[in-house]
Structures are given as C-alpha cells and as structure tokens.
C-alpha cells in the first residue's frame, strides 16, 4: 500500500496548496491580469510538472510503476522498429506507441515516458488558453491554470501515473483552432482523424455529437474516410484483424462504476461482465452527449464542446465497466476552465474531494485484489473493503453531480448567455 499512501500524501499537499490559491482568488486574478500568459504558463509548468518529475525520479531515484511499464513496453518496442499489434500488444491507437518511441530515441528509459506525459499536459494547457480566452480574462484563466496544475487529478495522474487521457482534449481543441485559423473543415477533420490514430478507441465517441452538429457533413467525412482507408491499407497486410486489439479494453472489468456498486445490492444477478452492459453504457454516454450537443446547437463551439466533452466522458467513466476513475484526467481541463463556479464553495469543495478520491482509489482497489462485490455483506467483510466500496459509491455520485453541472438545463445562445 506504499504507493497508495504516497498518492494520498501528495494529494493532500496538493489540495492544501490549491485551497490556498482558491482562497486568494481575487488577489491572484488581479495580479495575473498584467502578466504574460505564455511566460506564466511556462513557469507554472516548470514548478508543478518539471520540478516534481525531477524530485521524484531524479533526486529521489524512484522508478515509474503501474501503467508506465505498459507504455514503456509499447514505446521501447516501437522505437526498435517492431510492428504494433503484431510484435507487441497494445490497447491504444496505432500511432501512440511510435510517438512515445520517438522520444525514447533521446532517453531510453521509462522515466522519459513520464516526461512526455508532462510535456503533453503542458501543451494541452497552453492550447486551452487560446481556446478559452474569448470567454474569460487573462487573469481569470491564469488563476484557473494554477489551480489545475495543483489539483491531484492532474498533478498526480500526470507525474506519478503518467496518464495520457488529456491528449484527447488537446486534439479536439487543436482541430478547432486549425479550423478557426484556416476556415477549412478539411483541416478540422484531418486533425480529429489524426487524434483518433494517436490516442485510443474511445476518442471516436466525440465524433458522433460533432458530426451531428456539423453543417458540412460531406466535407467533414471525406478526410476521415481517406485517413481510415489508408490506415487499414497499411495495417491489415501487416497485422490482419489484430488492429482491433484496442476494442479488447471493453472486456476489462474495473471499478468504480454503476454496475459495480449495484451488483451486491442485487446479489450478483444484474449480469456484471456481460457485453450488454457495454452497449448500455455506450447508448447512455453518447446519447446524453448528443442531447447536450442538440441543446447547444446555437452556442459557440467552445461552449458546446466543453459541456459535451464532460457529459460524454464523465458519464462514460461511471457507466462503462472498463472505465475507472483515472479518467478524471480526460475531462478535468474543461471542468476547471468552464463549468466550475469558483465562487461556489460547494462546487469547489466537492471538486477537491473528487480529485483525491479519483487519484487514490485505482491503486487502492488494485492492491486489494480488484474486488467484485457479490452480496450486500461483501463490502463489510473487512474495513479495507468497506473503505473501497464507500470510495466507489462516492466517486460515482460525485461524477454524476459534475455531469449534472455540465448538462445544459436551458438553451444557450451564440453569445453564451442562457435564455
């Protein structure tokens, strides 16, 4: 349980620092108004991404664990020229391992994987500034950036867990920014297609609501179809149907999710582990995302995609059997920068609690042997199991709360005002 205690300790320190920053919100926002956004973001990244990396992996000499070892296996083999899906197994899209492999040419170490994740998180934060700046002042954005850099859901999952989920958000906003600059739907579609090839299969889910609202559907589809055909033309002769390996992730049972916490209440009679739960999860998450998109069809794209993104992937985190609470890193940026009301003490407090739970629970659950509760008495078999079950229920309820915050209760106009 040492890694659990380490994550908890780091999380509590992070929360304390974040709480201090939030308490000084007005003063910091005013002070940041006169500062350079680029320089401030760079300094923040150095202090809260690079410095922790140096302290943990270079000064303390700790070695990466958990998912990093899987990323290392993929990236190291890709850097040696091996073929994804054929020479090594991968739950990610085909270009993911080769992107990591490029960086391993400079430093052939698992620690380089963590550094890459930190770099990509910094790029995502920088791109988010250009994405959100029409809706908030420089000082407001930089204040929220500082909070984001301190939140355990970003800091711990990036530097200790080396999670890549924030990449997906990065590709969506890069696609939008390219469209805004070039006025070309084709560039927008190409970057989205490239994002799908670079990240993971669940990235395809956001394309459904985006396609639903797209006015130039044919121009949107043609580049994606071309990229898809070229990819299949390359992959199929090399690996056959093994390119479908990422779909195997849906078979992996994890927690917390709604089926997992309901299962003991129904004495293991709801079919946990069956494929139909995956389809139910997809229908719910994509359906809610599409409904959100339709309610925001007249809103600015940035407003629409921020809310749709949170509704889609936060819902997926608790309805899909293969999802787990690390997915907070997937939707934390739009949650912090657009949805959370930083004047609302309830929202802020629940966000801080949510971050700690999402960071600690995966390691705690895994080290308990990944328990699956069958009867109402199972969680009470030991104090450790009871703590696990309480954390699961809390994460599910809090995730539902943030989905509710993101879901539009009223129609939002082009200007962003509610009507």
CB contact at 8 A, 281 and 320: yes
Please report, in tens digits, the pLDDT of each residue of the chain (419 residues total).
678 998 999 999 999 999 999 999 999 999 999 999 999 999 999 999 999 999 999 999 999 887 899 999 999 999 999 999 999 999 999 999 999 999 999 999 999 999 999 999 999 999 999 999 998 999 999 999 999 999 999 999 999 999 999 999 999 999 999 999 999 999 999 999 999 999 999 999 999 999 999 999 999 999 999 999 999 999 999 999 998 998 877 777 888 999 999 999 999 999 888 889 999 999 999 999 999 999 999 999 999 999 999 999 999 999 998 888 999 999 999 999 999 999 999 999 999 999 999 999 999 999 999 999 999 999 999 999 999 999 999 999 999 999 999 999 876 655 444 43
Longest Cα–Cα distance of the chain, Å, equals 60
Coil, helix or strand at residue 173: helix
Cβ neighbours of residue 395 under 8 Å, at least 6 residues apart? 256, 318, 325, 354, 357, 358, 361
pTM, two decimals, is: 0.95
How many residues in the chain? 419
Q: Cα 193 from chain centroid?
A: 18
pLDDT number for residue 416: 46
CA 277-273-251 angle, to 5 degrees, is 90
Q: In this predicted structure, what is the pLDDT of residue 417?
A: 41
As given in the structure block, the two tokens for residue 32 are 């940041």
CB 96 within 8 A of CB 112: no
Q: Is the dihedral of CA 175, 177, 179, 181 positive or negative?
A: negative
88, β-bridge pairs: 84
DSSP notation for 17-49: HHHHHHHTHHHHHHHHTTS-HHHHHHHHHIIII
Q: Is 163 helix (H, G, I), strand (E, B) or coil?
A: coil
Measured at the CA of 34, the angle between CA 36 and CA 28, to 5 degrees, comes to 100
- The closest of 260, 242, 20, 319 to 147, measured between CA atoms, is 20
Distance CA 330, CA 333 (A): 8
Phi-psi region at 347: left, alpha or beta (left = phi > 0; alpha = psi -120 to 50): alpha
Contact 113/162 with Cβ under 8 angstroms?
A: yes
Specify the pLDDT at position 322: 85
CA angle centred on 132, ends 129 and 135, rounded to 5°: 135
Q: Which two tokens stand for residue 395?
A: 């994460």
Across-strand partners of 84?
Answer: 88
Q: Is 298 helix (H, G, I), strand (E, B) or coil?
A: coil
Cis amide linkage into residue 228, ω under 30° from 0: no
């Amino acid at each position: 349980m040492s890694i659990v205690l380490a994550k908890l300790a780091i999380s509590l320190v992070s929360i304390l620092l974040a709480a201090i920053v939030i308490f000084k919100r007005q003063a910091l926002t005013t002070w940041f108004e006169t500062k350079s956004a680029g320089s401030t973001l760079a300094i923040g990244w150095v202090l809260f991404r690079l410095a922790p990396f140096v302290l943990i992996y270079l000064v303390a000499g700790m070695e990466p664990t958990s998912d990093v070892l899987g990323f290392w296996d993929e990236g190291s083999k890709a850097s040696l020229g091996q073929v994804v899906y054929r020479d090594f197994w991968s739950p990610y899209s085909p270009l993911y391992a080769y992107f990591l492999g490029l960086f391993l040419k400079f430093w052939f170490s698992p620690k380089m994987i963590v550094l890459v994740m930190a770099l990509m998180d910094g790029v995502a934060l920088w791109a988010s500034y250009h994405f959100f700046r029409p809706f908030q002042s420089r000082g407001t954005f930089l204040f929220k950036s500082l909070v984001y850099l301190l939140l355990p859901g970003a800091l711990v999952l990036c530097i200790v867990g080396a999670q890549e989920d924030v990449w997906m958000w990065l590709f969506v906003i890069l696609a939008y920014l390219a469209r805004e600059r070039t006025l070309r739907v084709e560039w927008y579609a190409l970057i989205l297609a490239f994002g799908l090839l670079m990240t993971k299969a669940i990235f395809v889910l956001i394309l459904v609501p985006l396609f639903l609202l797209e006015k130039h559907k044919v121009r949107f589809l043609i580049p994606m179809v071309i990229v898809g055909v070229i990819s299949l033309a390359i992959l199929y002769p090399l690996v056959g149907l093994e390119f479908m390996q990422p779909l195997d992730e849906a078979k992996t049972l994890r927690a917390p999710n709604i089926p997992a916490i309901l299962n003991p209440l129904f004495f293991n009679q709801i079919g946990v582990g069956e494929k139909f739960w995956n389809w139910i999860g997809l229908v719910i998450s994509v359906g809610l995302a599409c409904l959100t998109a339709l309610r925001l069809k007249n809103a600015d794209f940035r407003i629409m995609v921020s809310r749709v993104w949170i509704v889609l992937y936060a819902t997926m985190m608790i309805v899909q059997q293969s999802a787990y609470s690390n997915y907070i890193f997937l939707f934390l940026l739009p949650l912090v920068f657009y949805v959370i009301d930083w004047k609302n003490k309830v929202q802020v407090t629940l966000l801080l609690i949510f971050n700690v739970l999402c960071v600690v629970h995966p390691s705690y659950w895994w080290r308990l042997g990944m328990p699956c509760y069958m009867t109402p008495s199972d969680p009470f078999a030991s104090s450790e199991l009871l703590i696990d079950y309480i954390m699961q229920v809390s994460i599910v309820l809090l995730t539902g709360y943030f989905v509710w915050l993101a879901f539009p209760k009223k129609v939002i106009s082009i200007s962003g005002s509610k009507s």
